C-alpha cells in the first residue's frame, strides 16, 4: 500500500513503485467526521428537495467534468496505486458510464408508480415510491479507487442521498479530487464530501448514529468489524468483499480467447482484483492445449512502472507475504510452477506465476491470493468443474468459456456467484444496468443497476381510498358482510388446480 508515514495530524500517500510521497493528507478524527455528517444531513435535505430532473442535470454535469479531467484522474490513480496509466484511464471511463446510467435512470426506477390493489382492495389507489435514506457513508478500496466507490456514490446520489466518502488510506488523493470536481459543479451544498484518514476515520463513519447506510468494500475480516460498528445503531450496510473466482474452460471453447481472458483476469492490476481469476478448471480434452497457450502468453508479461509494463506493483506491502506464502505452500504440497515460482516475488513487484497440480487444500486454492498468480486444474467434465468452482466460502463472480451455448448457460446458473460472464472476462462490470455483488464471504447487497439504486432508497407504500365500500375492519362489521366475503374468497381461491 502507499502509506508509509503518519502522525496524529497527517499521513503520507506514497507511490508504491517508487516510494515517493504523492501528497500529505489530514487524519480526520471523530469530531471531523461528525461535522462532515452534519453538513451532509443539511445537504441531503436540499438535494432531495431539488427533485429528479435537477439532480439528474447536476450529476450529468459532474460526469462531464470528470470526463474532461479523465487524464488528470488517471495520472493520480497511476501515482497512488502504481497501475498502468491506460488501466487507470479504463477504470475512470467505467466510473463515468456508471455515473451516467445512475443519473439517467433513477427517476424511472425509483419514482412513484401505481400498483394494482387486487379485488379485496379494489377501492384503494396504491402508490409505490422509493425515498432517499439521507446520508450514506461510503468506505472505498484502494485497488479500483474510483470505479468501485462510484458504484455506491453515483447510485446513492442519484437516489437523492448525500454521501460522505472515506477513500482508502492508500489512495486518498483520488477521493479528494473527486470531491473537488463535485463541489465545482454543485457549489450550493456538499452533497459529496471526502474525509481522509486511517482505520479510525472509517470506524467513525460506521458508528455514527446520523449515517443512514454504509457501503463498504474490502476484506471479509474488516467487513465484520464494520458490521459490528453498524449494529450499535442498526445502520444497514451493503458489503462487497473478496473473492476466489474461477474460470471454467469447456472442451469446445475458443482456447486462444479463453487463455487471453483468463490471463487478463488473473494478472491485470497485478492480480489485485476482487473479481479476478484465481483458479482455472479445464476439461481434460482441452487441458494441455489451453495450458500451452496460457503459459506462452504469461511468459511475455512484465511488471513495472513504465508505460510498456503489463501491470504495476503490489500496492499493499503486506500482501507480498501472503502471495509468497501461497506460492510456497502450493509447491510444498506437490504443485508445479510452469511459469515463475517463489522467486517471482521481487518487492514491490510479483512476476507472473502459473501453478499446476496444486492440491485442493492448498492455500493457493482455498484463500484469496490477490496477486498475479493462478492455479490451473484438470477436470473430467463441466459438472466436476462447477462442483470444484463452488468449493469455496466465497461467491463473487466467475467466467465460463464454451462453444456450447446451452451448456455454458447451465454452468453459469449453477456457479455459486453473484455474476458470471460467458466467453469474456467480467463483462458484467461494464454493464451499468446489471447488479454487482456476491454471496457468502464475498458479501451481501448489490451496487449497480436498478438493484443498486434501490439499495440506497427505502420503499414507501401509500394507499388512498377512492370510494367507500363494504368495511371489514370495523367493530360494526356484520355476519352477513363476512359471509359475502367468505363466499367471494372461496370462489376466487378455492378451486383445485390440475397439471
E strand segments, 19-120: 21-26, 113-115
What share of residues in the chain are helix, strand, coil (percent, to 5)? Answer: 45, 20, 35
User: Which of 80, 274, 278, 324 is an active site residue?
Assistant: 274
Q: Which of 91, 94, 96, 97 is nearest to 76 (CA)?
A: 91
Which string of DSSP letters, residue by residue, matches 248-303?
Answer: EE-TTS-HHHHHHHHHHHHHGGGG--TT-EEEEEEEHHHHHHHHHHHHHHHTT--B
Q: How far apart are CA 363 and CA 369, in angstroms?
A: 8
What secondary structure letter does DSSP report for 375? E
Q: Which of 148, 173, 195, 184 is nearest to 72 (CA)?
A: 173
Q: Has 126 been annotated as catalytic? A: no
**Residues in CB range of 434: below 8 A, 6 or more apart:** 419, 428, 448, 449
Q: Is residue 141 within 8 Å of residue 216, measured between CB atoms?
A: no
C-alpha cell at 51: 427533485
Place of cell 477513500: 167
State the Cα torsion 43-49-53-56 to the nearest 10°. Answer: 20
Q: Residue 57: how many CB atoms within 10 A of its CB?
A: 12
- C-alpha to C-alpha distances, 144 to 59, 232, 434, 471, nearest whole angstrom: 21, 30, 19, 57
User: Which of 80, 91, 240, 455 is an active site residue?
Assistant: 240
346 DSSP β-pair partners:
349
Q: How far apart are CA 415 and CA 421, in angstroms?
A: 11
Q: Has 274 been annotated as catalytic? A: yes
Place of cell 471511463: 93
Angular region, 126: left φ>0, alpha ψ -120 to 50, beta rest:
beta
Q: Is 332 helix (H, G, I), strand (E, B) or coil?
A: helix
**Residues in CB range of 143: below 8 A, 6 or more apart:** 81, 269, 272, 273, 274, 315
Residues with a known catalytic role: 240, 274
Amino acid at each position: 500500500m502507499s502509506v508509509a508515514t503518519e502522525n496524529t495530524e497527517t499521513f503520507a500517500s506514497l507511490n508504491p513503485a517508487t516510494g515517493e510521497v504523492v501528497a500529505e493528507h489530514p487524519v480526520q478524527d471523530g469530531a471531523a467526521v461528525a461535522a462532515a455528517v452534519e453538513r451532509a444531513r443539511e445537504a441531503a435535505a436540499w438535494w432531495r428537495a431539488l427533485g429528479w430532473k435537477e439532480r439528474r442535470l447536476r450529476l450529468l454535469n459532474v460526469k462531464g467534468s470528470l470526463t474532461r479531467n479523465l487524464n488528470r484522474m488517471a495520472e493520480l490513480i497511476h501515482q497512488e496505486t502504481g497501475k498502468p496509466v491506460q488501466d487507470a484511464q479504463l477504470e475512470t471511463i467505467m466510473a463515468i458510464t456508471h455515473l451516467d446510467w445512475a443519473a439517467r435512470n433513477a427517476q424511472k426506477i425509483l419514482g412513484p408508480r401505481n400498483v394494482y390493489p387486487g379485488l379485496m382492495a379494489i377501492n384503494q389507489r396504491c402508490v409505490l415510491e422509493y425515498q432517499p435514506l439521507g446520508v450514506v457513508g461510503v468506505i472505498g478500496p484502494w485497488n479500483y479507487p474510483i470505479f468501485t466507490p462510484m458504484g455506491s456514490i453515483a447510485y446513492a446520489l442519484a437516489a437523492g442521498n448525500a454521501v460522505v466518502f472515506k477513500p482508502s488510506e492508500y489512495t486518498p488523493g483520488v477521493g479528494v479530487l473527486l470531491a473537488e470536481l463535485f463541489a465545482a459543479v454543485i457549489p450550493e451544498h456538499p452533497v459529496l464530501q471526502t474525509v481522509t484518514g486511517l482505520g479510525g476515520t472509517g470506524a467513525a463513519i460506521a458508528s455514527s448514529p446520523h449515517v443512514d447506510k454504509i457501503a463498504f468494500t474490502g476484506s471479509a475480516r474488516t467487513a465484520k468489524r464494520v458490521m459490528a460498528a453498524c449494529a450499535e445503531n442498526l445502520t444497514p450496510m451493503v458489503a462487497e468483499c473478496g473473492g476466489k473466482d474461477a474460470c471454467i474452460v469447456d472442451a469446445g471453447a475458443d482456447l486462444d480467447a479463453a487463455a487471453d481472458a483468463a490471463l487478463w483476469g488473473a494478472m491485470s492490476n497485478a492480480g489485485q482484483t476482487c473479481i479476478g481469476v484465481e483458479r482455472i478448471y479445464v476439461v481434460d480434452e482441452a487441458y494441455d492445449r489451453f495450458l500451452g497457450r496460457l503459459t506462452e502468453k504469461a511468459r511475455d508479461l512484465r511488471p513495472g512502472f513504465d508505460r510498456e509494463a503489463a501491470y504495476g506493483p503490489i500496492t499493499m506491502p503486506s500482501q507480498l507475504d501472503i502471495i509468497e506464502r501461497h506460492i510456497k505452500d502450493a509447491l510444498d504440497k506437490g504443485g508445479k510452477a510452469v511459469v515463475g515460482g517463489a522467486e517471482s516475488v521481487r518487492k514491490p513487484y510479483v512476476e507472473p506465476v502459473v501453478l499446476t497440480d496444486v492440491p485442493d487444500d492448498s492455500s493457493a486454492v482455498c484463500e484469496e491470493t490477490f496477486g498475479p498468480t493462478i492455479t490451473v486444474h484438470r477436470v473430467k467434465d463441466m459438472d466436476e468443474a462447477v462442483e470444484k468452482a463452488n468449493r469455496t466460502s466465497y461467491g463473487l463472480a466467475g467466467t465460463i468459456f464454451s462453444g456450447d451455448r446451452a451448456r455454458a448457460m447451465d454452468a453459469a446458473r449453477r456457479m455459486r456467484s453473484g455474476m458470471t460472464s460467458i466467453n469474456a472476462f467480467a463483462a458484467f462490470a461494464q454493464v451499468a444496468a446489471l447488479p454487482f455483488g456476491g454471496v457468502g464471504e464475498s458479501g451481501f447487497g448489490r451496487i449497480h443497476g436498478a438493484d443498486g439504486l434501490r439499495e440506497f432508497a427505502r420503499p414507501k407504500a401509500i394507499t388512498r381510498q377512492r370510494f367507500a365500500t363494504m368495511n371489514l375492519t370495523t367493530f360494526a362489521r356484520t355476519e352477513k358482510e363476512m359471509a359475502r366475503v367468505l363466499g367471494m374468497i372461496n370462489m376466487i381461491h378455492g378451486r383445485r388446480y390440475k397439471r
